[in-house]
Structure 1
């Protein structure tokens, strides 16, 4: 078992890749009562077009297949995995993102049994046409709930503008029409392609003994046989190929009281891989914090002018095959809001050199946030980044320590290309304005 020692934080991460390809990470926290585990596969909502295991041709599955599969994994022949976790004193859940699906539990007792339950229910699929049909109604209600949420509409709207031909513009849950097409055979095809140990990782953090815990995991996995695995072949659009198709502006209406506006900036530059990719993301987040954080000069100026208010937020997302920034809020001056964001972005290379002292303070604040996350077993496990060379929250600290203002200047020059700029508005429907 490989040991990765983080002396600065007095933490040791134990890692091993099992003979079946499963990447196991164990972080003991002896002073904690709770143990938290995540079991994840490199399969998310954008992975719709792929070559199924054992075949040669691409298939295009309905939007929402990864999320639908996540829901159905808990439903077993004769029992429900949620109930089984409950019998052993554990809380369980799961989530699907654009690029990953994770199953998890937290518990203070019966850790061995709960690890077995986690591994077993994820590695033993059971789908029937009857249960699939029943699930469609449940997920359909969930989709409708999000469709009626104006903030979700705003978020998906800007993604649709930035990525009109990339599956990231589609809701993770799919649509009512797309999930109506899903069959049990579709679920098995996706499962057999992506839910192989060689495409998955297990992270356990809490009051556990690493040797014993690894022994439990090996014992569980040695009892199972897995099909020969070929790395999934997923077809995704090239970002540059759909650059000219960016939708620059859209306006829709909903039953809201105030206009909502979002500005999006699609990343058109090449993102590095491995730890360098993680560094890129952290630099981008720090850059946006300096420009638009609540203590920044730009934020305070726009706030005083009434262009933004407490609803304003910004975000940077970077995952496999896409990266973008977004800036959103409720505003009675949506055009002025959009132009103000654009003005800040276009003058970043003039603004940043004046922020030397703010940069040092921001780094300290980010380190403080990291230290807080290190006290949470959930945050530690959920911060694990398989796509960034298996980086952890502790690796992020080392990146912040060596980061310079020149690094942010270089990133702003490459990333803040206004050719990737787009806006999306939601206006109140007639009769709903105050």
Structure 2
């Protein structure tokens, strides 16, 4: 087992890559009362076009199939896996993002039983066309529910503009139409391609005994047979096929307009420390421009142009790189023009100064350090950060090393007018 010490954070990760390819990371924290385990695969909603295991040609899968597969994994020949976790006092869940699918549990007792349940149900799929067809109705209702949420529609409206003809512009759950094409054979096809241990990782943190736990995992995995791993070949639309659409809008029965302004990054395939530096740097930039300590935020709030829904976000994942800012407003055109102008005139912004930067940096470091008190935060960040060997325990040292001139340089490299878009959800006329 490899021992990785983060002396600045007083944390130690124990890492082992098993013979079948599964990467296991263990972070014992005996001062916690519970244990949290996350079993994830590098497979998300954007992975729709790939060469299936044993085949030679690319195929295109229906939108939402990764999310559909996540739903069906909890059903086996004996019934509902949630019942197994409940029997041993565990809380279980799962999630699908653009690039990941993860299965998890937290418990304060019966850790071995729950760990075995997690490993077994994820590695023993069971699908029938009958159960798949039944699930279509359930997921279809979920999709329709989100279609009625204006905050969801404005977000995916912006993504449709930033990533046209790209799977990132499609709801993670797919559409009511796309999931109609899903059957048991397609689910097995996706499972065999993406759920190989080589493409997965297990992260456990909390109150557990180290040597006993890794031995349980080894024994469990040694009892299972997996096909030889083949490199996964994915395919995505070219930059030419996904040129940014500058503007879009829809009308819904709402009382107050919602707007978002976004910028699509060039996605220069950064990795390792460089990728994490960019993630931190752009988030610093957004806090300087639009955070609660900025003069812009206070002015817009005092003038009633924004309210508590105002938000900014930076998403940097495999194949996905964009920022967004906006919220509810009584003056959508005015707010959009202000936000776009602020992004395009960084060099003239009075909030970009050393004093403000030090405030933002110190607050950000404090927030991260506080987040380390959450086992859930640690586990999910380890799953989400796919930047070679850098981890969340490298964030604070990198934050401390970044200077204002680095932020200004990133802004010049990142913000380009041709990669900017705006989307509004406006009230439907009565």
Partner of residue 273, structure 2: 275
Q: Distance in 1 between matches of 2:262 and 2:352?
A: 25
Q: CA deviation at 1:112?
A: 1.2
Q: Distance in 2 between matches of 1:129 and 1:232?
A: 26
Counterpart mapping for 1:83-162 below 5 A: 83-162=83-162
Q: Distance in 2 between matches of 1:392 and 1:246?
A: 32
After TM superposition, the score normalised by the length of structure 2 is 0.97
Please give the root-mean-square deviation of Cα atoms over the aligned residues, in Å.
Answer: 1.3
1:427 aligns with 2:423: no
Counterpart mapping for 1:25-40 below 5 A: 25-40=25-40
Q: Distance in 2 between matches of 1:32 and 1:377?
A: 9
Q: CA deviation at 1:279?
A: 1.5
Q: CA deviation at 1:354?
A: 4.5
Measured against aligned partners, the alpha-carbon deviations of 1:177-227 in whole angstroms (never above 9, x if no partner) come to: 111110100000000000000000000000112221111100100000100
Distance 1:269 1:104, change over 3 A: closer
Measured against aligned partners, the alpha-carbon deviations of 1:390-427 in whole angstroms (never above 9, x if no partner) come to: 43321111211211111111110111111111111111
Look up the SS of the partner of 2:349 in the other structure: helix
**Does the 8 Å contact 2:258/2:332 carry over to 1?**
yes
Q: Distance in 2 between matches of 1:139 and 1:275?
A: 38
Out of 305, 312, 315, the residue aligned to residue 314 of structure 1 is 312
Measured against aligned partners, the alpha-carbon deviations of 1:66-88 in whole angstroms (never above 9, x if no partner) come to: 00000000000022111101111
Q: Distance in 2 between matches of 1:303 and 1:417?
A: 27
Partner of residue 328, structure 1: 326
Look up the SS of the partner of 1:21 in the other structure: coil
Q: Distance in 1 between matches of 2:292 and 2:183?
A: 48
Counterpart mapping for 1:398-417 below 5 A: 398-417=397-416
Partner of residue 65, structure 1: 65
Q: CA deviation at 1:301?
A: 2.2
Q: CA deviation at 1:347?
A: 1.2
Partner of residue 297, structure 1: 295
**Does the 8 Å contact 2:294/2:351 carry over to 1?**
no
Further displaced range: 41-50 or 79-88: 79-88
**Aligned length in residues:** 429
Q: Distance in 2 between matches of 1:326 and 1:271?
A: 20
**Does the 8 Å contact 1:3/1:12 carry over to 2?**
yes
**Does the 8 Å contact 2:95/2:101 carry over to 1?**
yes
**Does the 8 Å contact 2:165/2:237 carry over to 1?**
yes
Q: Distance in 2 between matches of 1:186 and 1:390?
A: 33
Distance 1:100 1:381, change over 3 A: same
Look up the SS of the partner of 1:360 in the other structure: helix
Q: Distance in 1 between matches of 2:97 and 2:190?
A: 15
- List structure 1 segments (4+ residues) > 3 angstroms apart after TM superposition: none
Q: CA deviation at 1:295?
A: 1.4
Q: CA deviation at 1:350?
A: 3.0
**Does the 8 Å contact 1:33/1:108 carry over to 2?**
yes
Q: CA deviation at 1:353?
A: 8.3
1:358 aligns with 2:356: yes
Q: CA deviation at 1:386?
A: 5.0
Q: Distance in 2 between matches of 1:354 and 1:367?
A: 18
**Does the 8 Å contact 2:267/2:319 carry over to 1?**
no
Q: CA deviation at 1:119?
A: 0.5
Q: Distance in 1 between matches of 2:320 and 2:164?
A: 12
Partner of residue 208, structure 2: 208
Look up the SS of the partner of 2:386 in the other structure: helix
**Does the 8 Å contact 1:261/1:426 carry over to 2?**
yes
Q: Distance in 1 between matches of 2:304 and 2:91?
A: 44
Q: Distance in 2 between matches of 1:323 and 1:139?
A: 27
Further displaced range: 307-316 or 52-61: 307-316
After TM superposition, the score normalised by the length of structure 1 is 0.96
**Does the 8 Å contact 1:370/1:393 carry over to 2?**
no
Q: CA deviation at 1:9?
A: 2.6
Q: Distance in 2 between matches of 1:92 and 1:3?
A: 29
For structure 2, the residue ranges without an aligned partner over 5 or more in a row are none
Look up the SS of the partner of 1:180 in the other structure: helix
**Does the 8 Å contact 2:267/2:320 carry over to 1?**
no
Measured against aligned partners, the alpha-carbon deviations of 1:302-342 in whole angstroms (never above 9, x if no partner) come to: 22333222221111111111211111211121111111011
